[in-house]
Amino acid sequence: MIQQRQQLWQRTVTAVAAELERLDSPRRAWITEAVTAIARDQQRMHALFLAADGPAACSRCNGACCACGTYHFTLVNLLAYLIEGTLPPLPEFSRPCPFLGPSGCRLPVARRPFNCVIFLCEEIWHNLSEPQQRQARLLEDALRRQYLAFDALFAGSSLRGLLIRAERLQGQALLDAPL
């Protein structure tokens, strides 16, 4: 199972990189702009997490919610790397989340999956003031809209995660328009 996931990952990254090379300039420009806007809002959401003393809470519970992250990484997160000519860190599918390292998440905040960035558990949520909670709701809504805009354009985009989508598409191009 681990090896199958590793192979699917490699196939998927290679395929998306090749498709991106062939993509026309307007759509490449759209991707650049969209991942920049997502990065900015994810940083804002992370600022709230820090303001709520999130790192201390997460270290007390030993990053428990990262055990659910196997499929969180999306096409959007991959495109944020590829559009700049870089690659994400190699996932390790033997870990509870393939991007969980010895000192926490190996993905920069700007390129973390939507499901990770918007999740503020009860303890962290209650450390936020009401205006901060309102801001967190607005940011979650804005980020959801931004990720869903990719779903409308690219068959491989889904908040369910890149690998689940790649399996479902069975070799169909991930940057094609959705059917």
Minimal CA–CA distance to 169: which of 158, 97, 159? 158
Closer Cβ to ligand SF4, 123 or 167, answer by number: 123
Helix (H, G, I), strand (E, B) or coil at 15: helix
Pick from 9, 16, 34, 69: which binds ligand SF4 (CB under 6 A)?
69
Q: Determine contact, residues 166/8, Cβ cutoff 8 Å.
A: yes
Check residue 101 and report its DSSP letter.
E
Q: How far is the CB of 176 from ligand SF4 (least distance, A)?
A: 26
Q: Which amino acid, one-letter code, is at 140?
A: E
Contact 31, 121 (CB under 8 A): no
**CB–CB of 111/84 below 8 Å?**
no
97 binds ligand SF4 (CB under 6 A): yes
Kindly tell me which of 113 and 156 has the beta carbon lying closer to ligand SF4: 113
Residue type, 124: I
Nearer of residues 13 and 100 to ligand SF4, judged by Cβ? 100
Work out how close the CB of 24 gets to ligand SF4 at its nearest, in angstroms, rounded to a whole number: 31
Tokens 């009401």 belong to which residue?
130
Residue 113 in the binding site for ligand SF4 (CB under 6 A): yes
Residue of 123, 132, 160, 167 interacting with ligand SF4 (CB under 6 A):
123
- The answer to whether 38 contacts ligand SF4 (rule: CB under 6 A) is no
* Residue written as token pair 């369910």: 160
CB of 46 to ligand SF4, least distance (A): 11
The residues that touch ligand SF4, with contacts defined as CB under 6 A, are: 57-58, 61, 63-66, 69, 72, 97, 99-100, 105, 107, 112-113, 116, 121, 123-124
